[in-house]
Amino acid sequence: MKAMILAAGRGERMRPLTDHCPKPLLKVAGVPLIEHHINKLVQCGITDIIINVAWLGEMISSYLGDGKKFGANITYSPEINGALETAGGIIQALPLLTENNHNNTPFMLINGDIFTDYSFVEMPMLADNYLAHICLVNNPEHNKNGDFIFNNNQLKNIEPIENSKLKSEFTYTFSGISIFRPEFFKGENTEQTLKLGPMIKKAVSQGRVSAHLLHCAWTDVGTPERLATLNK
């Protein structure tokens, strides 16, 4: 299995920290966020890693190099005309993700701006009848309503429902850790910006996405305040 780390975002909410440093290179416990992910991937045996880059991307490639110092083989997918958003960046990188693989071999996907102590060794295999598997976490303060309903191992989109208690009790947030089959992106335009969230919701409505709940430390490092809290 290969992995892709999303690292092309501008990091607007992290300014001014990201004016001169790409968000994946911001440090937690003295180590860049993206390096934490690479180390975890290598520990679980995933060494072929694709990283999409745009804003200050040369700083990322300069720091990480070809990945050999981490025991990895890193390939970059530069988004020359600016970030293509999450799904757009993945679609552009699909030839790299499927190279030397069966065309529908699943790959792991990790947001470059999260921090977690979750061991990727515990990531389940993607069942044959699903196009994707997503990891969920308890709703953080900045996303109290959650992204999905998950109950009795059933994943559903959040729809207006009468029982607000049920809604709040079983809603969870997408962690930014997932597995996808290349087939998930089949037929999408390869030259446009495209967000991943709506595509996941569409596949959830079709019953093609599985999930599990993480019980670990997890932070969406989206603001300077959250980064400072992690480094206390």
Instruction: Evaluate whether 161 touches 167 at the Cβ level (below 8 Å).
Output: yes
The H or E element that residue 136 is part of is strand 132-137
* pLDDT score recorded for residue 162: 42
How far is residue 26 from each of residues 31, 74, 230, measured CA to CA in Å?
Answer: 8, 19, 12
pLDDT tens across 169-216, in order? 789 999 999 999 999 988 765 666 788 999 999 999 999 999 999 999
H or E element in which residue 104 lies: none
Alpha-carbon distance 225 to 208, whole Å? 36
What DSSP string runs through 108-146?
EEEETTEEE---GGGPPPPPTT-SEEEEEEPPPGGGTT-
Task: Please answer whether residues 58 and 65 qualify as being in contact, where contact means their C-beta atoms are separated by less than 8 angstroms.
Answer: no
Cβ-based burial of 158 (10 A; exposed 0-12, middle 13-18, buried ≥19): middle
* Cα–Cα distance, 222 to 87 (Å, whole number): 19
Instruction: Tell me the torsion sign for CA atoms 110, 116, 122, 127.
Output: negative
pLDDT along the chain (232 residues), means of 10: 91 80 93 96 96 90 96 92 78 87 85 94 91 96 91 86 59 96 80 83 95 95 92 89
Q: Which of 42, 33, 34 is nearest to 76 (CA)?
A: 34
Number of H helices, E strands in the chain: 6, 13
Strand partners, 151: 154
Closest to 169 (Cα-Cα) out of 151, 143, 189: 151
* Domains of the chain by start residue, with CATH: 2-230 (3.90.550.10)
Closest alpha carbon to 105 in 4, 224, 216: 4
The confidence score (pLDDT) of residue 25 equals: 95
